[in-house]
Amino acid sequence: MNLVWAALIVVLAVTVTVTAMLLVRRRAPEGSYFSDGDRASGVFGVLATGFSVLLGFIIFLSFTSYDQARSGAESEATIVAQQVQTAQFLPDRAAAELTGELICYARSVAGTEWDALNQGTLGNSINPWGAELFLTVSTVDPQTATEQSAYDRWMDQTADREQARIDRVHGAEGIIPTPLWLVLAVISVVIFGYMLFFADRAERAVTQAVLMGSVTTVITLLLFLLIFFDHPHGDGVGRLQPTAMERTVSVIGAQLQVAGLEVSPPCDDDGNRR
């Protein structure tokens, strides 16, 4: 959701709740519906504090997931670039194949796979070029000490790359369960309903509007922040983008050019098999 739509929804929510407050205020008694305002304020404090603590804790966990996905994307891109270097110490035929497949892997992550992340359709599917890399390296028979060392290093890097990919796609389909969303929605409605009992016709309309509007704005913005962290991939300000992997694709091309190596990747620019 972009900033424009978020702002419009916040304005709409504030308009609805403020209008409700002003309508209730017309028939409200002087001093609000509560005979003991201090006790009513104390109860509201309990409601607001409980909601704030719960929402703050959820936002913290969601941000942790967001940061994990961001770190995973950075780590995965770095490891792919390192594996290109490691592949050059393997037998020549395998080195050329693995390099081409690594390029396709990077293109696929930044292309078709990221599109699936944005749409929430990636699910449990694997990267096809990850499987191709496994099939290719399984045919390698290292002979020299250098090749054996590179082979061992490759296997370690593969494990790290797969873990980084898991971190990157973690939370792509949302990490907050539906019951928790329902609880937050019910508590929000309870707070708004409770606020209506503070309607006081002796108070100025502007004061009553500010009272309800400020509460509505804060709660709505916090819920939007939670939605943002719950779906970190996609278009919009702050959303995760395949910047790291796109940079890796460029770095690999520069590395091969400096090393004087010519590799023809078996895929198009989006990582689809030719």
pLDDT value, residue 107: 94
Three-state secondary-structure class, residue 240:
strand
| Of residues 5, 16, 3, the one with CA closest to residue 216 | 16
Lowest mean pLDDT among 71-75, 121-125, 166-170: 121-125
**Mean pLDDT calculated for residue range 15-38:** 85
Q: Give residue 173's pLDDT band: very low, low, confident or very high (50, 70, 90).
A: low
Q: Give residue 161's pLDDT band: very low, low, confident or very high (50, 70, 90).
A: very high
In this structure, what are the phi and psi dihedrals at residue 127, rounded to the nearest 5 degrees? -80, 120
pLDDT value, residue 31: 77
pLDDT value, residue 198: 87
- Report the share of the chain in percent with pLDDT over 90: 43
Q: Give residue 84's pLDDT band: very low, low, confident or very high (50, 70, 90).
A: very high
User: Exposed, middle or buried, 21 (CB in 10 Å: 0-12/13-18/19+)?
Assistant: buried
Three-state secondary-structure class, residue 273:
strand
pTM for this one?
0.81
Residue 146 neighbours by CB distance under 10 Å:
11
Angle at 253 between CA 234 and CA 72, to 5 degrees: 35
Q: Give every CB contact of residue 44 below 8 A, 6+ residues apart in sequence.
A: 191, 194, 195, 198
Length of the chain: 274
Euclidean distance between the first and the last CA atom of the chain, given in angstroms as a whole number: 34
Q: How far apart are CA 15 and CA 141, in angstroms?
A: 70
Q: Give residue 1's pLDDT band: very low, low, confident or very high (50, 70, 90).
A: low
Domain regions of the chain by residue span:
55-174+239-274
Tell me the per-residue pLDDT of 178-207, one tens digit each, with 9 for 90 and over.
Answer: 888 999 999 999 999 988 888 888 888 898
Helices within 88-113 (DSSP H only): 92-108
Query: Which residue matches tokens 């983008």?
Result: 241
